[in-house]
């Protein structure tokens, strides 16, 4: 019992004992937690008493409490601060955890009790949330294969274990390619780069124990390099390395991993009687069918491609005026788009970034949360898992709401991208438990003594992830099954994408966008130019996203392709993909759909949610105030605090009164008309 993971977390607010943890603690903690969970599940399944909601569903909600606690700590660290030891354990755990999941969801005794409860649900006198939780359990077990028998049952278990192994391999391969590649930059290679890019390259070199400057595959470094470097040869080299993650041959190549995963997913769906994996995966989502997804994406594709092709012609003319003949290439787009933005809007990223300091943008997000929902944020001095991570206590009217952790800087031990997670979710079952929420980003870390500066896209990312954090922090349900972000995949992005809109509220930037050195507010003229340019280059952004979503759908909608790269090329050719734009996520590093299956057949969900978020923010416009108290109260009640306690469409209709069309999205992206 000396293992800190197996003892009560008695630090303030129930924080994990980060300071006492050793990598060697995790394997025995998982063993003990799995043993306890198995015993508790068996007791529920074998209980001879008449099954009831409390003895089956509520008991299952608490049966894996220790395993959930250990898992949340380990998997958060494996994503945000991994190591060789943690990666080795992650590979070892993948089949074990999948096997345990199958033991539970394919347990014949449990399935009999759950399906029996669902069959007589009208006689159980359940509350609305309890009925929703029972519905979700019945659906989860049925879709996991609880009703299968014989060879089909055993094959389903094998498929789940193999898919877990492959998804872990996929994720670790991408991280390895990102970690291992860098390009040293000599003094001449820095010409034309703004000071913030030079500083980030210097910090990246220091993080790798090198002198001088290096370029890495961190998005917050490579994107501004592609925007500002006049060296076309270096842009090409860097861009090709960036898009080749997972496609470099050898042990980290993900092409065969992706092919096998697609084949196994198809087999899994067919075992359950579905025509395709997409049909299986979309059944519980708001979209319901592949046809509905394709319908939305194609409504957006046409206007986006037309805008992108018009922009491509402009950028190519600019390149030719520089004396460079031939076609505009993917590594040219951002460079000439940045020059065009400067020419048309007099907007210079180097001029803008000093007003978008990380501290100011954190403060802006906190201030918006305070004005909308009354939340207060107090810094905490507590042990965390990495020196770069920071924590705040979140309160409202003096009452504890949550702990919020922010981990903002890129490092080689962190996977790329940005995400929200939790070290503990909210629940009321068995006593009130408030959440511990974490936002993880990959912003460029400044040199010692210098302020961290964000691009406008970085600031939008910070607001996006904080929107997810609010969904977790304001959760107010009884059962863990429906707490926080435990909602349909194409609903989960609504709170995050909606919160991005407050970054564009002029008074927010007027209050918080202050120069990191002088403290002066952003000049009004610069603010106006920034807001005027907010839908600049949306043809590019929309095309690269929608192309990725349509490739994802094509992978899973029919028979699994033997060669995913050939299928990718076929889909893009059929769409008429503009030649100077590539998918946002090429197949070998498309972690959203292959590092787990959370977004498989579901990458479209950002756009599905965007249809709602554009309409939802219009509710504040209609009220005449971006911080209208009544609208904010409805948003919290029906969206942020409700979790998955009701069908998402029902929740949205209660907030807004109706479902929206695609028009607000097209207008918001500058693609209408």
Q: Catalytic residues, which ones?
A: 465
Chain CA centroid to CA 213, Å: 30
Residues 6+ apart with CB under 8 A from 235: 225, 226, 229, 331, 332, 335
The whole-angstrom separation of Cα 101 and Cα 103 is: 5
Residues 6+ apart with CB under 8 A from 658: none
Among the listed residues 146, 67, 161, 74, the one whose alpha carbon sits nearest the alpha carbon of residue 112: 146
3 state DSSP class of 403:
strand
Do 665 and 498 touch, CB atoms closer than 8 A? no
Q: Running DSSP on this structure, what letter comes out for residue 401?
A: E
Alpha helices in 513-646 (DSSP H): 524-532, 538-557, 564-575, 591-594, 605-623, 629-635
3-state secondary structure 77-131: HHHHCCCHHHHHHHHHHHHHHHHHHHHHHCCHHHHHHHHHHHHCHHHCCCCHHHH
CA 292-575-670 angle, 5° bins? 75
The whole-angstrom separation of Cα 23 and Cα 21 is: 7
C-alpha pair distances (Å), 394 with each of 379, 391, 472, 474: 9, 10, 12, 10
The whole-angstrom separation of Cα 604 and Cα 291 is: 12
Query: In 611-650, which positions are buried (b, 16+ CB within 10 angstroms) versus exposed (e)?
Result: bbbbbbbbbbeeeeebbbeebbebbbebbbbbbbbbebee
* HSE-up of residue 546 (Cα within 13 Å, Cβ side): 27
Do 400 and 450 touch, CB atoms closer than 8 A? no
Joined together, the tokens standing for residue 193 give 């780069």
The whole-angstrom separation of Cα 314 and Cα 167 is: 41
Joined together, the tokens standing for residue 335 give 């460079």
Question: 123 burial class (0-12, 13-18, 19+ CB within 10 angstroms)?
Answer: exposed
The whole-angstrom separation of Cα 651 and Cα 495 is: 13
Query: Scanning the structure block, which residue is given the tokens 């469409």?
Result: 649
CA 511-387-19 angle, 5° bins? 130
């Amino acid at each position: 019992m000396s293992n800190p993971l197996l003892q009560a977390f008695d630090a303030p607010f129930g924080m994990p004992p980060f300071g006492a943890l050793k990598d060697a603690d995790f394997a025995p903690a998982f063993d003990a937690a799995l043993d306890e969970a198995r015993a508790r599940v068996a007791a529920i399944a074998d209980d001879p008493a008449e099954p009831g909601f409390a003895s089956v569903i509520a008991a299952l909600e608490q049966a894996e409490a220790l395993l959930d606690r250990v898992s949340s700590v380990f998997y958060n660290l494996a994503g945000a601060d991994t190591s060789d030891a943690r990666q080795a354990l992650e590979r070892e755990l993948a089949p074990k955890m999948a096997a345990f999941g199958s033991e539970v969801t394919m347990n014949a005794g449990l399935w009999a009790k759950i399906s029996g409860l669902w069959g007589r649900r009208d006689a159980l006198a359940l509350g609305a949330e309890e009925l929703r939780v029972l519905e979700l359990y019945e659906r989860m077990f049925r879709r996991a294969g609880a009703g299968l028998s014989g060879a089909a049952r055993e094959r389903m278990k094998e498929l789940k274990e193999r898919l877990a192994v492959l998804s872990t391999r996929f994720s670790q391969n991408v991280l390895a390619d990102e970690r291992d590649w860098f390009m040293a930059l000599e003094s001449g290679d820095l010409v034309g780069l703004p000071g913030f890019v030079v500083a980030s390259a210097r910090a990246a070199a220091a993080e790798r124990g090198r002198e001088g400057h290096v370029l890495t595959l961190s998005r917050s470094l490579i994107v501004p390099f592609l925007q500002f470097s006049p060296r076309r040869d270096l842009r090409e080299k860097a861009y090709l390395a960036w898009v080749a993650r997972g496609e470099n041959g050898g042990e980290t190549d993900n092409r065969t991993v992706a092919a096998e995963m697609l084949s196994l997913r198809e087999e899994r769906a067919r075992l359950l009687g579905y025509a395709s994996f997409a049909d299986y995966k979309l059944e519980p989502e708001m979209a319901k069918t592949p046809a509905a997804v394709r319908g939305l994406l194609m409504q957006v594709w046409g206007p986006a491609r037309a805008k992108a092709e018009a922009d491509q012609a402009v950028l190519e003319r600019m390149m030719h005026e520089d004396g460079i003949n031939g076609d505009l290439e993917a590594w040219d787009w951002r460079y000439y788009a940045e020059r065009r933005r400067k020419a048309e809007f007099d907007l210079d990223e180097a001029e803008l970034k000093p007003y978008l300091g990380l501290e100011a943008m954190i403060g802006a997000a906190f201030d918006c949360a305070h004005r909308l929902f009354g939340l207060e944020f107090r810094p905490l001095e507590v042990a965390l898992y990495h020196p770069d991570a920071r924590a705040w206590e979140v309160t409202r009217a003096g009452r504890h709401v949550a702990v919020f952790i922010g981990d903002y800087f890129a490092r080689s031990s962190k996977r790329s991208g940005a995400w929200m997670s939790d070290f503990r979710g909210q629940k009321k079952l068995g006593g009130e438990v408030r959440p511990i929420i974490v936002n993880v980003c990959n912003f460029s870390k400044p040199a010692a003594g210098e302020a961290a500066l964000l691009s406008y896209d970085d600031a939008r990312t910070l607001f996006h992830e904080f929107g997810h954090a609010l969904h977790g922090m304001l959760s107010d349900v009884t059962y863990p099954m429906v707490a926080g972000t435990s909602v349909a995949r194409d609903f989960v992005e609504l709170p995050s994408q909606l919160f991005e809109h407050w970054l564009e509220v002029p008074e927010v930037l007027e209050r918080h966008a202050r120069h990191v050195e002088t403290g002066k507010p952003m000049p009004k003229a610069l603010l106006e130019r920034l807001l005027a340019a907010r839908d600049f280059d949306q043809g590019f952004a929309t095309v690269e996203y929608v192309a990725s979503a349509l490739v994802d759908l094509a992978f899973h909608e029919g028979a699994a392709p033997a060669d995913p790269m050939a299928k990718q090329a076929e889909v893009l050719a059929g769409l008429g993909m503009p030649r100077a734009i590539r998918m946002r996520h090429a197949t070998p590093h498309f972690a959203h759909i292959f590092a787990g299956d959370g977004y498989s057949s579901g990458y479209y969900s950002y756009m599905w949610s965007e249809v709602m978020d554009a309409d939802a923010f219009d509710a504040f416009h209609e009220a005449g105030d971006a911080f209208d108290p009544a609208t904010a109260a409805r948003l919290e009640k029906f969206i942020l605090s409700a979790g998955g306690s009701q069908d998402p469409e029902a929740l949205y209709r209660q907030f807004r009164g109706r479902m929206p069309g695609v028009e607000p999205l097209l207008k918001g992206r500058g693609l209408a008309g």
